[in-house]
Structure formats: C-alpha cells, structure tokens
Amino acid sequence: MSIIATAHSSHRRLLGSGLDALAPADRALLEKARDGYRGTVADAWDNETDHVSALAHELAERARREA
C-alpha cells in the first residue's frame, strides 16, 4: 500500500470509528495527543484528525507534483 493510500486509510478509520475500534497504534497516537493537549478529549480528537487530514492532503499533493 502506498504512503498516500495508508494516510487516507488512517484518516477514514479515525473519522469513521470510535476509540474502541481503532488499531492499537492509532489509539496510542490519539491518547498521546490527548494527554499532551490542554483542551477536552473532543478537542484532542479534532486536533488529531485535522493533523492526519493535512498529512494525507500534503502527501497527495506531493505525489501529483512528482508525477
């Protein structure tokens, strides 16, 4: 699976499921973000999904430029 497909897949998982349905690595990432974030759990969730979305878009743009 390409890096872009992996990023998009992770983004879909994060947006489409609750914490119980996440892969252990994804759950650990969100818990780490939540622990280091000074807002609510919902704010940490939003912050992390925004980060994953931005990464997916950046990787897609880079692939388009290199193609």
pLDDT for position 49: 72
Tokens representing residue 28 in the block: 């650990």
39 phi, psi to nearest 5 deg? -100, -160
pLDDT tens-digit profile of 2-44? 554 555 555 555 555 455 566 677 767 776 766 655 555 566 6
Q: Which residue has the higher pLDDT, 58 or 8?
A: 58
pTM for this one?
Answer: 0.35
**CB of 7 closer than 8 Å to CB of 55:** yes
Quick one: pLDDT at residue 10? 58
CA distance 64 to 9: 18
